[in-house]
Chains A and B, each alone.
Chain A
Amino acid sequence: MSESLDKQKKDLSQLNNDYATKYGFHDPVDYFHRGAKGLSHELVEMISRLKNEPQWMSDIRHRALDVYLSKPMPQWANTKMLSEIDYNDIYYFMKPVGENSTDWNDVPEYIKKTFDRLGIPEAEQKFLGGVTAQYESEVVYHSMKEDLQKQGIIFLGMDDGLREHEDIVKKFFGTVIPMTDNKFAALNTCVWSGGSFIYVPPGIEVKVPLQAYFRINAENMGQFERTLIIADKGSRVHYIEGCTAPVYSTDSLHSAVVEVIALEDAYIRYTTIQNWSHNIFNLVTKRATAYKNATIEWVDGNLGSRLSMKYPCIQLVGEGAKGEILSVAFAGQDQHQDTGAKVIHAAPNTSSRVTSKSISKDNGRASYRGLAKVHKHAVNSKISVECDALLIGKNARSDTYPTMEIDCEQVRVEHEARVSKVAEEQLYYLTSRGLTEDDARLLIVNGFMEPFTKELPLEYAVELNRLIELEMEGSVG
């Protein structure tokens, strides 16, 4: 590591405070538009009208609401926790006063302060090509470097994307994740607001990451951002998203839908670090389609939340397509991270690799739920799945639910699952070198996460290590 990197690392680590002061604050806000609590066709109509949407989108919303109402709650994962959500006590749409801005100075003061505290403009100056910041339901700030714009790269909030590039949105919206896919995808489709819209023209390489930041401020708030990323033939893009919410005593719901499309020879990496407060239900559908020789990479970090249900999926539909899913989940006291990965091989010579790492601490529970599916004609496909769970303390829990559906004989499948504990002998070894037991445990955990952390941009790696440190504080070995 070079010295400047090291110094940068130090500076960055000093930007951080603990979660309560850094993310746990909330703003007293008068909302310009706030629908009634609960879901209805009236609410859906109001959202659509406020956004001044084309009729076809409004129709999709209404149909999705019917689908949502007709589908039962999932009868798997943590049904007990799922039943804790009171769907009638949630605000499904909130719009803060003020319009989406491209000038940081125009953003309302309290929101600006929020994102300043979260370090968004700083991060933007440091290394990003563009930034979108979403506050509750709406994108409040958006900017992109001029040279990217000149290359024809589109990076907008989803609402602006629909307004300015209706043809592209109409062509791809809901094609990767149809509203009928699952109850929460339907829910998102009927009340979606905000999210990112990215289109990269053929052959263009976006050299700096594009970033979005999602923030839930209000209590009993539902956030339903919708993200659509399209990388046209031979293009490359890295998109990063981070999420936080303040600490409230009542629960909030986050239910995003993310559709990612890599056309022939394109490359997309999607990096998420979610750090929700511990009362958020995080029920997200993320899926990508990779065409011929395209590559999709999900890098997915899940911290916080009460319950997360998230299984990033890659559909390899073109010959030679590649997929990689690298995820890490941290389940602390009273948390359940039910996460995993799905890979679907639907074309010959496709390959996928899943690396899932989970840490369970106190009575936390981390589950890996995965699907590896190979269609009949997907000959010479390769799948490798590796699940690695680390338990800290006697009550921590880890489960693995892998599903394999292999309808093809010429295929190579590797599956490996390991559960380990922070061993007393390891702790003794490290403490015998002068590290306190807490520091020793943290070092072991950071080491366990290293294959994930090293894939992150430096700022995110530092931030993640810092967050893990906070989660580890006061742990009882």
Chain B
Amino acid sequence: MTDKKALFEFKDIHVRVEGKEVVSGVSLSIKAGETHAIMGPNGSGKSSLSNALMGHPAYEITRGEIYLDGNNLLEMRADERSRAGLFLAFQYPLAIPGVTVANFLRTALQAHRGKEADMSDFRKLLKSEMKALSIDEVFATRYLNDGFSGGEKKRIEILQMAILNPKMAVLDETDSGLDIDALKTVSTGINRYHNDANAILLVTHYQRMLNYVKPDFVHVMMSGKIVKSGGPEIALKLEDLGYEWVEEEVNHRAGV
């Protein structure tokens, strides 16, 4: 495993939003087949990092590098990063009234393939993926996220991931707003997508999703920096003790 090249790698990322630095030098290297988790309290900069990696125009990367499968993403727009194989499941997916889930997914798939998706193949794909995520078929003809519950939106995010089949999926607080059954279904969907050729970065406040989507590595983020990295045991410790012990450790190291 150790000599395998990184699939997704970012180095020394600094992010500025509305003139304020919210991420201050974060680096991570993720190999194909791996699952990483970034955990951190609210306001630690983990969502900002996710959006900056995806290319949100309001999240300016002032310093750092991002590579996906050897491609430099930094100069790419969000749509180019997507087509290069990066995916971000949104914490708060937006509603697009009048655009059906099916139409949207087909348009997105077309954008990725550069050609029109065959209608019957597409319908088969959509049907099977929806079934796997326990999404009722009527959602195909409903307008994207328009009037969807929090849990429905999250399922649709994972459906998009399953259809677009990205190399690298960043999942931003996908567990929030899900009840236990929905959490299990969504986790099953994520595990179904995951294979040796792709990788997952879970961004989350809580440990509970990690019971179902097992991370190989856990990183703790605080005040815009990764302050601790290790195995899944960190997540369990966070679950028991909260974030305070990490904070103390950091302060101790800093000699405060």
A positions within 8 Å CB-CB of B: 1, 3, 6, 423-426, 428-437, 439-440, 443-444, 446-451
**Docked complex Cα distance between A425 and B119 (Å):** 29
- What are 29 A-B pairs with beta-carbon distances under 8 A? A3-B120, A6-B119, A426-B96, A429-B90, A429-B96, A431-B79, A432-B55, A432-B88, A433-B160, A433-B164, A434-B79, A434-B83, A434-B112, A434-B164, A435-B79, A435-B108, A435-B111, A437-B77, A439-B107, A443-B104, A443-B107, A444-B96, A446-B99, A447-B96, A447-B97, A447-B98, A447-B143, A448-B97, A450-B97
19 A-B pairs besides A436-B79, A450-B143 with CB distance below 8 A are A3-B120, A425-B94, A428-B56, A429-B90, A430-B96, A432-B79, A432-B81, A433-B79, A435-B79, A439-B107, A443-B96, A443-B104, A444-B96, A446-B98, A447-B98, A447-B99, A448-B97, A448-B98, A450-B97
Which of chain B's residues have a CB closer than 8 A to the CB of A436?
79, 111
Which of chain A's residues have a CB closer than 8 A to the CB of B200?
none
- The yes or no answer to B177 lying at the interface (CB within 8 A) is no
Give the interface centre of A1, A3, A425, A431 by most chain B CB atoms within 10 Å: A431
Which of chain A's residues have a CB closer than 8 A to the CB of B56?
428
Give the interface centre of A3, A6, A424, A447 by most chain B CB atoms within 10 Å: A447
Which of chain B's residues have a CB closer than 8 A to the CB of A433?
79, 82, 104, 108, 111, 160, 164
Task: State whether A449 and B78 are in contact (beta carbons under 8 Å apart), knowing that A434-B83, A434-B164 are contacts in the complex.
Answer: no
| Residue from the list B58, B94, B164 in contact with A426, Cβ < 8 A | B94
User: What string of 1s and 0s marks CB contacts (under 8 Å) between B67-82 and chain A?
Assistant: 0000000000111011
CB distance from A118 to the nearest CB of B (A): 26
Which of chain A's residues have a CB closer than 8 A to the CB of B77?
431, 437
CB distance from B77 to the nearest CB of A (A): 7
Which of chain A's residues have a CB closer than 8 A to the CB of B83?
434
Which of chain A's residues have a CB closer than 8 A to the CB of B242?
none
Residue of A nearest to B143 (CB): A447
- The yes or no answer to B33 lying at the interface (CB within 8 A) is no
CB distance from B182 to the nearest CB of A (A): 21
CB distance from A334 to the nearest CB of B (A): 27
How many residues on B have C-beta within 8 angstroms of the other chain's C-beta atoms?
30
**Docked complex Cα distance between A93 and B112 (Å):** 54
- The yes or no answer to B25 lying at the interface (CB within 8 A) is no
Which of chain B's residues have a CB closer than 8 A to the CB of A1?
119
Give the interface centre of A1, A435, A446 by most chain B CB atoms within 10 Å: A435
Contact B107 A431 (CB under 8 A): no
Residue of A nearest to B89 (CB): A432
- The yes or no answer to B54 lying at the interface (CB within 8 A) is yes
Contact B111 A429 (CB under 8 A): no
CB distance from B59 to the nearest CB of A (A): 10
Which of chain A's residues have a CB closer than 8 A to the CB of B107?
435, 439, 443
Contact A429 B120 (CB under 8 A): no
Which of chain A's residues have a CB closer than 8 A to the CB of B230?
none
**Docked complex Cα distance between A272 and B180 (Å):** 52
Residue of A nearest to B77 (CB): A431
Which of chain A's residues have a CB closer than 8 A to the CB of B111?
433-436, 439
**Docked complex Cα distance between A433 and B90 (Å):** 11
**Docked complex Cα distance between A450 and B96 (Å):** 11
- The yes or no answer to B231 lying at the interface (CB within 8 A) is no
Which of chain A's residues have a CB closer than 8 A to the CB of B96?
426, 429-430, 443-444, 447
Task: State whether A429 and B93 are in contact (beta carbons under 8 Å apart), knowing that A434-B83, A447-B98 are contacts in the complex.
Answer: yes
Which of chain B's residues have a CB closer than 8 A to the CB of A446?
98-99
**Docked complex Cα distance between A300 and B70 (Å):** 53
**Docked complex Cα distance between A431 and B54 (Å):** 10
Task: State whether A450 and B164 are in contact (beta carbons under 8 Å apart), knowing that A424-B58, A434-B112, A435-B111 are contacts in the complex.
Answer: no
**Docked complex Cα distance between A428 and B88 (Å):** 11
- The yes or no answer to B147 lying at the interface (CB within 8 A) is no
- The yes or no answer to B43 lying at the interface (CB within 8 A) is no
CB distance from B142 to the nearest CB of A (A): 12
| Residue from the list B94, B99, B112 in contact with A443, Cβ < 8 A | B99
CB distance from B160 to the nearest CB of A (A): 7
Task: State whether A444 and B99 are in contact (beta carbons under 8 Å apart), knowing that A424-B58, A428-B78, A431-B79 are contacts in the complex.
Answer: yes
User: What string of 1s and 0s marks CB contacts (under 8 Å) between B174-204 and chain A?
Assistant: 0000000000000000000000000000000
Contact B98 A434 (CB under 8 A): no
**Docked complex Cα distance between A432 and B83 (Å):** 9
Give residues of chain B (108-149) contacting chain A, Cβ–Cβ below 8 Å.
108, 111-112, 119-120, 143
**Docked complex Cα distance between A356 and B112 (Å):** 35
- The 7 A-B pairs at the shortest CB distance, nearest first, are namely A447-B98, A450-B98, A447-B99, A434-B111, A434-B82, A431-B79, A433-B108
